[in-house]
Amino acid sequence: MIDFRYHVVSIIAVFLALSVGLVLGASFLKEAAVTGLDTQVQDLARNNEGLRRELDRANAGTRYLNGIMNTVGPELVRGKLAGHKAVVVALPGADTKLTDSMVKLLDGASATVTGQVGIKGAWTDPKREAELVTALGANAAAFPTGSATERAARVLAGAITETLPPVQTGTPGGTSTQLPGGSTPPGSTPPGASASGAPPTGAGTTSAPPSGQTPGQGTPGQGNPGQNTNQNNGTTTPATHNTQAATETLTKLKEAGFVDVKDNPATGADLVVIVAPSGATGGDDPGRINNIHLSLARALDTGDDGTVMAGTASAAQENGVIWALRRNDQTAKAVSTVDTADTPVGQVAVVWSLVVEDKQGTSGQYGTTGTTDGPLPELPKKETS
């Protein structure tokens, strides 16, 4: 049995140990610990100061480059887009200042800016897909396949870009209207047949697009770009854009809460700048939302001579829409991207990318984030003279 004296001795030993520790800690051990901590703090301070100086030098270099580009940039883009009409399409969450700067940039490059279209968050809301199809009106019947957003993207592209007109196909004496992909609108005459199914007789006619549909949805590869070929007599007529029908389409989409419209994009454009939102795409399913945005970009590209998605470096980071586009081969082969559109160099890249797409039909990825083709595209030789 343990005696009470052992408890007393144990307690005395504990307090004695604490006392010794306090004495040692307050003497030479304290000095050693404080000296070590001071040394570490001084080292960190020196490293921090070095990093600060490096950052200052980098910022100074950036300011210097931006200063040069602010001076020469306007001359590098002046007149490059003369004779073209351009529209700016802002994705949900796109910065208003960046969108406005794109309008100013295109104007400085001598393009005629038809207007702006702001895509609203409702466009990607799965709960509103039925409403989106309803807002398309008669245009929905022209695109019977694909998801609601894919069909809406084609209709919107037809309303704001100068797409090919309906293409007449078939043998002499019988023609029909074909939509992208070779489909025939409901109620139109199949190639080589009359409406009754009998062999074609007499002069053929071209089926009119559904009410509200913008003429300019022809089959790629048939006829010459910008022309409507009459296969009965071999003559061609210039492509026309139905501004009235396009206006009705945009009005319906706007009233339903899917887009905002500024100025008059219904007049049709042959160049498109898509403004990407900064940062990663949010929501419960960012991959789905990005895919919807890419579908819209591809649809716009089929109806114009050049499409560029412009944004900041954060849009090219993981789950950003530019990041998603560059990882999607189908879209990257058709649509260019610039992830420095908020800088003077990036703004030159936006205009030059449109020039390259228009003249050479090739896309590129430009900027500083991830794998890119460099800061600027290479202009065709005749454009540099």
132 and 92 within one domain: yes
pLDDT for the residue numbered 113: 98
Domain end, chosen from 176, 206, 240, is at: 240
Arithmetic mean of pLDDT, 266-281: 97
Assigned token pair, 326: 């560059």
pTM for the whole structure: 0.71
10/68 Cα distance (integer angstroms): 80
Arithmetic mean of pLDDT, 72-96: 96
pLDDT for the residue numbered 239: 53
Query: How far lies 191's CA from each of 175, 184, 207, 302, in Å?
Result: 6, 9, 11, 23
Query: How far lies 83's CA from each of 136, 202, 268, 296, 355, in Å?
Result: 31, 41, 13, 25, 12
Arithmetic mean of pLDDT, 246-268: 96
101 and 137 within one domain: yes
Question: Residue 363: is its pLDDT beyond 70?
Answer: yes
332 and 253 within one domain: yes
Predicted confidence (pLDDT) per residue in 183-231, tens digit = 344 444 443 333 334 433 333 333 344 434 444 443 333 333 344 433 3
185 and 142 within one domain: no
155 and 295 within one domain: yes
Task: Name the strand (E) or helix (H) holding 108.
Answer: helix 96-108
250 and 235 within one domain: no
Predicted confidence (pLDDT) per residue in 313-334, tens digit = 999 999 999 999 999 999 999 9
Q: Would you call 117 exposed, middle or buried from its count of C-beta atoms within 10 A (0-12, 13-18, 19+)?
A: buried
Question: Residue 130: is its pLDDT beyond 80?
Answer: yes
Per the structure, the count of domains in the chain is: 3
Question: Residue 274: is its pLDDT beyond 80?
Answer: yes
Greater pLDDT, 58 or 297: 297
pLDDT for the residue numbered 238: 47
Q: What is the mean pLDDT of the chain?
A: 80
Domain end, chosen from 240, 268, 293, is at: 240
144 and 23 within one domain: no
Convert 339-359 to b/e letters by CB count within 10 Å (16 or more is b). bbbbbbbbbbbbbbbbbbbbe
Confidence band of 381 (pLDDT split at 50, 70, 90):
confident
pLDDT for the residue numbered 26: 64
317 and 205 within one domain: no
60/191 Cα distance (integer angstroms): 66
pLDDT for the residue numbered 43: 84
251 and 194 within one domain: no
316 and 194 within one domain: no
Domain end, chosen from 240, 267, 298, is at: 240
Question: Residue 233: is its pLDDT beyond 50?
Answer: no
pLDDT for the residue numbered 21: 72
304 and 198 within one domain: no
362 and 294 within one domain: yes
Predicted confidence (pLDDT) per residue in 21-76, tens digit = 766 666 665 666 667 777 888 888 888 888 888 888 878 877 877 787 778 889 99
Confidence band of 384 (pLDDT split at 50, 70, 90):
low
Domain carrying residue 46:
4-69
